[in-house]
Amino acid sequence: MPDIMNRQKEEEAWEHYTPIGSDEYEQANQERIKDGIIEVEKLGDDEHSITLVASVKVDPETGKAISGHENRPDAESMRDTAQAFADYLAATPAEQRFVVYEGDKRVFDNRDEAITKAADSGLVQHLAAKEHIPTVSGEPTEAETTAIMERLGVNQKELLALYVARGLESQLTNGEADFLAGYIYSQAARLDMEGFHNYSESEKQEILASGKLDELKAELNQKVSELLPTLNELYRPNLDSKDLLVAAEDGSIGVNPEFADNIAEITMDRLNWSGEHRLNEVAKLSMEMRDRVIFHRVLEAYNSGKSPFVVYGGSHIVTLKPALQAYSESTK
């Protein structure tokens, strides 16, 4: 009976969700970013609560909030997040402590490395590990993502285009920029696309040991080149009818030089949810799908007696806060 009641309350609370791009969202988000500092909100009461931390990335030269996640160890938002976590520890009994983080599990022993490689998610995972606090990713599994997006009318190639765009800046700055095909191939394999193999670590090591890495790279370049027409067709409406991805004479895959120097602006602003083209719609649907799963993950912890500490991109917190607040108030 309690589970049924909780699910009913969850559905009722979800009616307060604020969709990205709505007037309510825009007003709340502008309020959130105006001073360029993280927003910390505690829902519930001292005995049982949900602590939300809306992360923010700030341009160090202008001091203004910009798109993306902060990966500078000396950023004020990283110090503020650590302080919010310390305050949470002081106010929360050990048995109620629980962390919900964004993205994949990535635990680093070193604070600066955690931030550089995994932004605010890396920091909170690092802090939780030091205190032996249980954690969970708020993200949907690949199976959940594919199934839900399919029900929402998004096909596999549309989802691939979104995935590739989302990680492109990170790949070019922190990844293997000279082998973009490897990144695109891995995203296709992640979605279980026909003809794309998800290489295990042991397989990768075997390829390196056998001296066949260059041979494999050539094969992956060729395989990914077959995807370029479909991907570019989805990107062109957002990019003034220009291709985002190109194949060089040697077969390697790269970013159109016209967009390479401002790839963050391209991927975060023009290929994300803000716009009226199909890819923008897919991004909105993806975000709402993610938000619903995050919402459920947080409430699973809350309903089990935990007082979760939730660090997420500010846009997610803006959309979710009214629904989480409605739920916490309904359980008082």
Between the CA of residue 274 and those of 145, 279, 285, what are the distances in Å? 21, 10, 12
Average pLDDT over residues 199-204: 91
119 contacts 71 by C-beta, under 8 angstroms: yes
pLDDT in tens, 7-30: 899 999 999 999 988 999 999 999
235 contacts 256 by C-beta, under 8 angstroms: no
The domain ranges of the chain are: 2-137+308-330, 143-272
pLDDT in tens, 35-70: 999 999 999 999 999 999 999 999 888 888 888 889
Beta bridge partners of 236: none
pLDDT in tens, 58-105: 988 888 888 888 999 999 999 999 999 999 999 999 999 999 999 999
Instruction: Provide the 3-class DSSP secondary structure of residue 136.
Output: strand
So what's the pLDDT on residue 2? 57
Return the closest-CA partner of residue 157 out of 53, 86, 97, 230: 230
Average predicted confidence (pLDDT) for the chain? 93
Give the strand pairing for 57-58 and 253-255: unpaired
- pTM for the model stands at 0.78
Residue predicted with more confidence, 144 or 38 = 38
73 contacts 41 by C-beta, under 8 angstroms: no
pLDDT beyond 60 at 1: no
Measured distance CA(82)–CA(213) in Å, rounded: 41
Measured distance CA(190)–CA(266) in Å, rounded: 23
Average pLDDT over residues 172-185: 84
Measured distance CA(183)–CA(278) in Å, rounded: 23
Measured distance CA(276)–CA(68) in Å, rounded: 21
181 contacts 220 by C-beta, under 8 angstroms: yes
Residue predicted with more confidence, 172 or 259 = 259
The distance between the two most distant Cα atoms of the chain, rounded to a whole number of Å, is 65
Contacts for 32 with CB less than 8 Å, ≥ 6 apart: 39, 54, 56, 314, 317, 318
Average pLDDT over residues 144-153: 89
